[in-house]
Structure 1
Amino acid sequence: MTSPDAEQPLTFLYKYRSISFNEDGKSIEEKLESCNTIRGLIEHKIALSNRKAFNDIFDSQINLIRPTATEIKKIGEKNIALSMLNEFKSMYKNGKLTNSGIAILQKLETTFNSTIDKYAFLCLSKRCDSNLMWAHYGSNHTGICIEFNAKKIPATKVEYKDSLKEIELIHLIKAHYTKTKAPEIVLDQSKEIWEGLTTKLKEWEYEDEYRFQSGNREVEAKFAAGHHYHLESYDPDFVNSIIFGVRTTKEVKEYIIKNLTYKTLFKQARATKSGKILIEPYQASA
């Protein structure tokens, strides 16, 4: 029997997108053609980003807790790979971390963060009727919201907490220096890291976010070279509908409907007198 408090499987996930133009002096048709959101929609491409591009400076930040010299020594020199034994032993002396040990910890921290910075994410919401989301990510209700089939995107629910995720650096030391890496230890570390990458502070709870990580190695290489965004193609069948914002202009609606190369539904967001956003089937006169 399913608990009444259990999270029910989602049918749809939503991506709010802004509509903006930078080219002055061009016709409305030319401006719409050059809009990144509209071009991506027509070409069925979506922007993935790494955490450096997030608007929340604390998003996906993981605090690495440094071990003491005693904790490092307890790993046991007999468990260390022979080729790394001298380096391992250089980390501590007389119960204290050495300068070499501090430098090694710093290097491990840098390597960890550099690896995480290469990860590509797609951030979605389980809501399409959020006034705040339309205002913040839908260019003040003038943008659009893409309704994706949730079964097509294996996204993870973001947890909202009072503090950021902490991971003991001793686990990374063990993974780096020991002779054998037990599968269950590696799995536990992966789970902990992913938990940290899907944790945000409670002030962002209104987003109701779900997060997907791409495993595309080419994208990771691109991010390693200093890029923060990547356009990823998706199957048009992933899209269930396009939702127009309360203030989306007639020109934008007509251009998208006319130029979209695949079949989908169109919907319209409407502001009610009760202070809610209502999503309705789109009517050409809307």
Structure 2
Amino acid sequence: MRLYRFLNAEYGLLAIRERRLRISRINELNDEFEFIGLALKRKADRLELRRVREHVNGHTGIICMSKRWSHPLMWSHYGASYTGIALEFFTFPTRVREVEYVTKRPTLQTFECRSLEDVGEEHLKRLFRMKFDAWQYEEEYRFFLPLENGEEIKRKVHYFLPFSPHLELKSVIVGPRSGVTRAQVAEALGGMAGSVETYRARADFDDFKVVKNMQESMWK
């Protein structure tokens, strides 16, 4: 399947050049309800669920991608206000989990549990890919990855997923407002330049979506 990762121009080019994507820590995600979306009446249960999130944060990371690259809000929110880059990858469906969007926070009854103690591993896996449906425009898929072989960069440990046949770069889409040049993309791609499609995007003339700019001469 094809999935898209949005990045600002600097980190987009760096990801291409280094042939890897940075794995996010769970506590770095931009939704406060991540992994703790279960509606719980007891304060002790809410604190316990947060402790579970902290435990998972210590050993598991996440890479979030979108099913499509044409949504304007994705470019606005994750593509640095249209100045960034979208990277298209091929990956196998078994490697990712599709996000489930819900209108209301699930309860213990939703999971057919009488207490928090009844919440098992399968319930938690579902909770970890569940989001409020206001985020539905993202059409999100998630890689859940072990935090292994960390690399210290600027006094902070980071984790990465290398490009591979399981995460194969297929195209580089430069945002409509981006100053990234064709030469910069080619330099970052290096030996991959012949097998990776590159193009600039633009706002569609008829619809609220972002599309490929067919006028290649407009991208220097």
Identify whether the pair has TM-score above 0.5, normalized to the shorter chain: yes
Residue type matched to 2:101 in 1?
Answer: Y
From 121, 128, 136, the counterpart of 1:190: 121
- For residues 249-273 of structure 1, the C-alpha deviation after alignment (integer angstroms, 9 at most, x for no partner) is 2x44321212322231113212122
CA–CA separation in structure 2 for the residues paired with 1:57 and 1:256: 35
Superposed CA RMSD in Å reads: 3.1
Task: Give 1:284 deviation, angstroms.
Answer: 5.1
Q: Which structure 2 residues correspond to residues 265-276 of structure 1 after superposition, within 5 A?
A: 265-275=197-207, 276=209
What is the number of residues matched between the two proteins?
204
Residue type matched to 2:204 in 1?
Answer: T
Tell me the equivalent position of 1:171: 118
Task: Give 1:116 deviation, angstroms.
Answer: 2.1
**Residue 208 (structure 1) aligned with residue 167 (structure 2):** no
From 18, 22, 30, the counterpart of 2:8: 18
Q: Return the TM-score normalized by structure 1.
A: 0.62
Q: Which structure 2 residues correspond to residues 257-272 of structure 1 after superposition, within 5 A?
A: 257-261=186-190, 262-263=192-193, 264-272=196-204
Task: Give 1:197 deviation, angstroms.
Answer: 0.6
From 70, 74, 84, the counterpart of 1:129: 70
Task: Give 1:47 deviation, angstroms.
Answer: 1.5
Tell me the equivalent position of 1:25: none
Which runs of 4 or more aligned residues in structure 1 lie more than 6 Å from their structure 2 counterparts after TM superposition? none
CA–CA separation in structure 2 for the residues paired with 1:155 and 1:163: 24
Tell me the equivalent position of 2:83: 142
Percent identity of equivalent pairs? 22
Q: Give the structure with the higher percent strand.
A: 2
Larger-gyration structure (1/2)? 1
**Residue 231 (structure 1) aligned with residue 160 (structure 2):** yes
Tell me the equivalent position of 1:94: none
CA–CA separation in structure 2 for the residues paired with 1:145 and 1:269: 10
CA–CA separation in structure 2 for the residues paired with 1:233 and 1:111: 30
CA–CA separation in structure 2 for the residues paired with 1:106 and 1:258: 49
Unaligned runs of 5+ in 1: 1-10, 20-34, 68-101, 173-188
Secondary structure class of the residue paired with 1:259: helix
Q: Give the structure with the higher percent helix.
A: 1
Task: Give 1:138 deviation, angstroms.
Answer: 0.5
Task: Give 1:214 deviation, angstroms.
Answer: 0.5
